[in-house]
Chain A
């Protein structure tokens, strides 16, 4: 039992006097095949064992917050696409909601449904790609990713038909969405939802019980729940450790309280749980999608017409925008609460005492996107 969850484990592992010439200093990244984007870790090794790990950020710091403070509220919408560039529509949603709360704008029901559909499709993309990437980290280079991207392409086709862009949708507007669904669009989504279950079955068949996966991920990188909460870890990372904290349930935004879905929880919070929790979440997303498609109402898609912070449960964790308005057309302060960035807080604690090869798996299981880490 840890007396104070804020206590770092660092000092316990690195014994005094251990910091000598025998230790090997390795710089992993910023260009490294297994780092997810331009992320760097300065690792100190004693043999194969990690005794210190310091992440280095900033290689993709492209000043989104500064740029947003110099432009109008709406002009920042396309930039939010490029935060977590695997799932642009979740970012759109979080930002639109923050401004809606700031200005007190209502969103029509149909728009809320469309947002839920897009948000959950985005979660499917993210979690599928995650599975592909983390298996790549374990050596299954390309093949698992090939399956994940096959499904991703199908969802991107749906996005493209609706928004005109594969990735950078720039679709949500304050008070609704940019345009209505094209004819036959929901039927296509419906077909995709039907087909996604078999894909998940197929993926799970390859994964569950796979010996390499088990030996690489079981009991790797778990930390006590209190430490995770204290370290600000959110999203699948936190739920894999068994903490029932999902904003869609805790503080249902949009219309999430209308849907019947469960929050999958893990037991130990090791890398295996983190992978599996994402598969279970995709199953729940499919449930939400099915319900949303069945009850999609008709109606307008956009509402006709100072300081706030708003969160959504993004695929990677709590994505929040903290806006301070001074009454002008530009936000006075525009701050993003980036889940990828804050989920990295405890990476050193997770990796200490493990092998270097485990570091790559742990980093993969955190599921970061550098556009969001460095902004």
Chain B
């Protein structure tokens, strides 16, 4: 069931020489390695993986957004392989992770990553909805909760929060609205928030 990510990496590099694809290894016990794809090349890579007869990654199962305010952390989880460049040292970025499967060959997951340039304005990643319909709502969710702008998405709107909402609540630096006025039995994180409302002696 598992995918030989290293072999696939070679294959992709040979087939798409202009695409920026680098291998990232996972140091944990799971050993789930991944391919970091330049955002601009992502739809082409996906289309190649889907339509090449002996690959047939026809099923994009999952799309996750991740917020990395500290790029060093991103490298610790998905370490650049020998000779590959590490993440840019300045600022943070947003990352989108794709898990691809092949229902015909019954293998997976192939993990792809794409990163934005920063977390403020240059947060564009090309949408893969034209290749995999299953990304439609998941990309909207990441747009909603992380603020990644998927260029070329047919209907990029907020999906879970209301349209008037302006924040991206899953980001690490999001501050939730303070509505802990009345907490008879606060504990843990709620205690911290509730303490702000205690009457000062």
Docked-complex contact B133 and A309, CB < 8 angstroms? no
Interface residues of B in 91-109 (CB under 8 A from A): 97, 99, 103, 106, 109
Contact count band on A:
35 or more
**Who on chain B is nearest to A318 by CB?**
B61
Contact A250:B76 (CB < 8 A) given known A8-B154, A227-B133, A318-B61: no
Docked-complex contact A58 and B133, CB < 8 angstroms? no
Tell yes or no: A70 within 8 A of B by CB: yes
Query: B60 → chain A, closest Cβ, in Å?
Result: 6
Docked-complex contact B169 and A306, CB < 8 angstroms? no
Tell yes or no: A104 within 8 A of B by CB: yes
Bound together, the chains give a CA A326 to CA B59 distance in angstroms of 28
Docked-complex contact B77 and A58, CB < 8 angstroms? no
Query: Which B residues have a C-beta under 8 Å from some C-beta of A?
Result: 1, 26-30, 32, 34, 58-62, 64-66, 73, 76-78, 97, 99, 103, 106, 109, 111, 129-138, 154-155, 158-162, 169-170, 188-189
Query: A318 → chain B, closest Cβ, in Å?
Result: 6
Tell yes or no: A364 within 8 A of B by CB: no
The residue from B27, B29, B77, B103 contacting A103, defined by CB atoms under 8 A apart: B29
**What are 15 residue pairs bridging A and B, where the CB atoms are less than 8 Å apart in the complex?**
A5-B58, A6-B133, A58-B158, A58-B162, A66-B170, A102-B28, A102-B30, A251-B106, A306-B28, A309-B109, A311-B61, A325-B77, A326-B73, A332-B66, A341-B137
Docked-complex contact A231 and B161, CB < 8 angstroms? no
Tell yes or no: A307 within 8 A of B by CB: yes
Query: A2 → chain B, closest Cβ, in Å?
Result: 11
Tell yes or no: A65 within 8 A of B by CB: yes
Docked-complex contact B64 and A322, CB < 8 angstroms? yes
Docked-complex contact B106 and A250, CB < 8 angstroms? yes
Interface residues of A in 48-75 (CB under 8 A from B): 54, 57-58, 61, 63, 65-66, 70-71
Of listed A57, A307, A342, residue having the most chain B CB within 10 A: A307
Docked-complex contact B78 and A307, CB < 8 angstroms? yes
Docked-complex contact A342 and B99, CB < 8 angstroms? no
Give a binary string over A322-361; 1 marks a CB under 8 Å from any B CB, 0 the rest.
1011110000110101000110111000000000000000
Contact A326:B1 (CB < 8 A) given known A8-B154, A70-B189, A306-B27: no
